[in-house]
Amino acid sequence: MTGIVGVGPDGPSLSALLAPVHQEPWYETDRVEAGDYGLAIVHHGTKDPGGWHCWQDGRRAGVIHGAITNLDAFDGRYERLFARVFEAPAETLRRLDGPFLLAAVDDRAERLLVATDKLGARPCYYAVEDGFAFGSNAASPLAGVEDPTVDVQGVSDMVMLGQVWGEKTLVEEVSTLPPATVLESQEGIVSTEAYWQLDVDVSPKKDPFTPIVNAYRRAMADTSATMDGSVGLWLSGGLDSRTMASELSRNLSSLVTYTYDANPAGGGNIEIAKRIADRVGAENELVPLTPDRFVDVFETAVSLTGGMLTWRTFLNLTAVFNIDEPTDLILEGCGQGTLMGAGIGQTLLGQHEMPEEVLYHAKHQTDRATVQSVLAPDVDPMATYRTVVADAPSTDPAETALTAYYRNYVARGEFASNRIARSQVGSRVPLVDGEFLTAATDLPLSYRERAIPFTGGKIPAGAAKGKFEFTRALDDGLSDIPYERTKFPPSYPHWLHTVGFVADTGSKRLLGKTAYGGRRMQSRWYESNDRLRALVDGLLDDAATRPVFDADTIQTLRRAHDAGEANNLGPLAAVSTVESWLQQHLE
């Protein structure tokens, strides 16, 4: 996979950190060493020259994995940027926009700096046990850990959430660097500091969308300026990817869009995506998504995501392996809908006073009692929610819940599967822009999604009002093309989209088709494809022998799922994902 590794004095070698990293024939690796410090960056070379940078000046060196979209603030010069990072890290990093992981070393000062972007779009993992070591892949720092220990709380997150939140990984000795954080290692002492914070404000506002639209358009233009070569976009029949398609087409001479039939399959994505592509003047390519090909790339995808995203979630993005000749870069619209009001809605925020309860009911795939029974050691699954809530600076319960949600779900969930696509092509995340994030997190509560009555807040009423208002405010000429989830164009009133969503979803579930809130394509694949079934069941059998899991509970969940008594693919996919990563990197 593309990314960075680095070491300080007494740490493992760069070669040891690079050893577990996925490789492709076209990858290039640049290394810089300054005294006892070393950095290496694996990149796509000429396929995405704007997606990386390597700099050295005597005993100082630095690398950037990603793209700084406002480098002109430093006269377009990386040497000036790195000089300012050494002089005033937090102040300088606060000014940076774009998706990046930055690392810089100064051998004379015995100093190493590592920083994530404002949303954590480019992850970083580190260990300090036997010298400092870090990497974009969670397996890299393990080279400096003599006897790694499975982090039970991290495994608990996987079973409950399908992802891992906070600063945990699946190994106790390896930590995640949070978004908008700079780590400093100087003379053997490691410290971290948040250099920027989300400032969520859900109070009513007269015109919240003008500043959001203006910032979005500028961020899209700035991002487009960093991309050399051919550009692609994952395009569905939804709202987020269509707005990104419109803005990319405004800023680029050509655009290729890719569509796969999912979310849910048979929902009309293919036809609607073609209409959108035609309207913006982009090519549209249908990408196959099949269970047999998924089995072929299963282990690779697990390793790329650090074992911290369930295969049930990352399955769709493995479609990138099925493109014969992909564009040099491919973008996706993930994260945008969350910022425009999806995920945590008004209903949940009104039902629960405690932010951790809001987060639990908004994002859990397995109830807490089942999580405790799946794990053999005693564990409190809710500890994760309490920890991320404590890290949120707001005093308002709703704003606290949303801050914790943005900091964790966006980075550790929505952006996590980007690493799969990024193993094959370059990528950008235009949403990582300070002005846009400030405007978007000022979205009033009234624009967040509502839930269908009597569903306990679990089933959204179509889509968030904020998503429709944002689409209309962009005025991109696409509001007359139907929205896949409701079958009505975005220009129609919001209440009609709610009716459309309920009618479409209800009829599909009655007919036994894949639908929102119903049985998903992943479940059907597991039940019907012999290769996938054998792979997952084999991993579950192996997991049952580990001290971290309760064998009887795993067997009970499988039997209930097979009998159709319950849809237990959530915990089963989580356990099999964890087991696959442990086998690949801890054995």
* Tens-place pLDDT, residues 340-391: 999 898 988 999 999 999 999 999 999 999 999 999 999 999 999 999 999 9
Q: ∠ CA 316-273-449 to the nearest 5 degrees?
A: 75
Check whether the bond before 264 is cis (ω within 30° of 0). yes
Domain ranges of the chain: 3-194, 209-342+416-505, 521-585
Query: Residue 519: what pLDDT?
Result: 59
Q: How confident is the model at residue 394 (pLDDT cuts 50, 70, 90)?
A: confident
pLDDT at 5 over 90: yes
pLDDT at 455 over 70: no
Cα separation, 402 vs 217, in Å, equals: 24
Mean pLDDT, the chain, integer:
93
Contact 167, 178 (CB under 8 A): yes
Q: Give the C-alpha distances (Å, rounded to integers) separating 209 from 337, 444, 449, 473, 524.
A: 14, 10, 16, 7, 40
Considering only the C-alpha atoms of the chain, give the largest distance between any 2 of them, rounded to a whole number of Å: 69
Q: How confident is the model at residue 494 (pLDDT cuts 50, 70, 90)?
A: confident
Contacts of 541 (CB under 8 A, 6+ apart): none
Query: Residue 136: what pLDDT?
Result: 98
Q: ∠ CA 587-546-411 to the nearest 5 degrees?
A: 70
Query: Residue 187: what pLDDT?
Result: 84
Place of tokens 């624009």: 447
Contacts of 473 (CB under 8 A, 6+ apart): 209, 210, 212, 213
Backbone angles phi, psi at 327, to 5 degrees: -65, 165
Q: Domain 209-342+416-505 belongs to what architecture? A: 3-Layer(aba) Sandwich (3.40)
Q: For residue 364, give both structure tokens.
A: 């859990």
pLDDT at 433 over 70: yes
Cα separation, 125 vs 103, in Å, equals: 12
Quick one: what percent of the chain has pLDDT higher than 70?
95
What is the value of pTM for the model shown?
0.95
What is the chain's Cα-based Rg? 23
Q: For residue 400, give both structure tokens.
A: 């606290």
Query: Residue 514: what pLDDT?
Result: 53
Report which DSSP code applies to 73.
G
Q: For residue 306, give both structure tokens.
A: 């650090």
Query: Residue 156: what pLDDT?
Result: 98
Cα separation, 198 vs 175, in Å, equals: 22
Query: What's the whole-number mean pLDDT along residues 320-343?
Result: 95
Q: How confident is the model at residue 454 (pLDDT cuts 50, 70, 90)?
A: low
Query: 3-class SS at 54?
Result: strand
Q: For residue 334, give both structure tokens.
A: 């993930």
Query: Residue 227: what pLDDT?
Result: 97
Residue type, 571: P
pLDDT at 440 over 60: yes
Query: Residue 543: what pLDDT?
Result: 98
Of 87-101, 371-385, 386-400, 539-553, the least confident = 386-400
- Tell me the pLDDT tens digit for each residue of 227-275: 999 999 999 999 999 999 999 999 999 999 999 987 666 668 899 999 9
Q: Domain 3-194 belongs to what architecture? A: 4-Layer Sandwich (3.60)
Query: Residue 24: what pLDDT?
Result: 97
Q: How confident is the model at residue 66 (pLDDT cuts 50, 70, 90)?
A: very high
